[in-house]
Amino acid sequence: MEREEIICIYDEVLTGKRKQFPNEMFIGITGKQYLGYMTRYLIEEKLKIPIHEIPHKIKAETLWSHRLRPGAKAQGWKYFDLINNAYEGQFLPFDFHQVPQGYWQGEKGRHLAIEAMKYVVESKCKLPLDQIPLKVNHQFFKQHNLVGVFCLFEQSPYTAMDAVYPGVFKPWQFANVPMNCWKETKHVDETMDWLLFTQLHYKSYEEALRKIRKTHFFEYKLTGLLQVAFDYRMKNVKKWIVARLEKDNSTN
């Protein structure tokens, strides 16, 4: 059948003039073509939605309420498959507010999640590596329809980005540090050395012992470290520095 005939049948189904679609109309390659005609007709001509607005205005119930479920079911499709059939390669599942059910589940889902984050960071937002800890936060995942991905990685920007770029970042570089980070000696030691020598540019632990102030923890957004690891007490911070100094002296 030609496109005009398919659209005529679809209109008759929508208006109730025809109760259902002809048998086997949506089977095989021809059925995919017919569904493409109908999907584009619905979106562009009936609903008059510009193509670039489709991810924001089309949901599964939009398609199902306009009688496209039987065709999708015949092909074994979910709603995104129906859209992708009509607009092949123009959209990604996470462009939509409603990601297909189960899309992020299992090992395959985890791989898709990593690829999605990499695409958003590098292709969509074009973020340099050094900007990732500053820009990737809770709002970032919400803005780019990656809330499901965010949950997959314990709602931690660091954990999510570490999956995409293993070993490139440290937890404390992000505004939202993972829970229990400051209870691990390794993270405390690395962060303190980063603060003292990379950020404050001290030449030695002796200098750090003389100059470190509580305000430095606030300035570099490390209040969580000060609270959890040092109980908000500078005398505990200085005890840590003395211990590192003694350790250095014992190995020299």
Give 13 or 220, the one with higher predicted confidence.
Answer: 13
| pLDDT tens digits for range 118-158 | 999 999 999 999 999 999 999 999 999 899 999 999 899 99
pLDDT of residue 249: 77
| pLDDT tens digits for range 91-123 | 998 888 878 888 899 999 999 999 999 999 999
With bands split at pLDDT 50, 70 and 90, how would you rate the model's confidence at 47?
very high
223 sits in which H/E element = helix 223-230
**CA–CA dist 163, 178 (Å, integer):** 14
| Overall average pLDDT of the 220-244 stretch | 94
Angle between helices 234-251 and 223-230 (to 10 degrees): 80
**AA identity, residue 150:** F
Residue 16 has pLDDT above 80, yes or no: yes
Q: What's the chain's Rg over C-alpha atoms?
A: 28
| pLDDT tens digits for range 149-208 | 999 998 999 999 999 999 999 888 887 787 678 988 999 999 999 999 999 999 999 999
Q: DSSP per residue over 64-81, as a string?
A: HHTT-HHHHHHHT--HHH
pLDDT of residue 101: 80
| pLDDT tens digits for range 55-81 | 999 999 999 999 999 999 999 999 999
Local structure of residue 195 (DSSP, 8 states):
I
pLDDT of residue 179: 64
pLDDT of residue 180: 78
User: Mean pLDDT for the chain?
Assistant: 93
The pTM for the full model equals 0.71
Distances (CA, A) of 127 to 81, 156, 160, 164: 30, 18, 15, 13
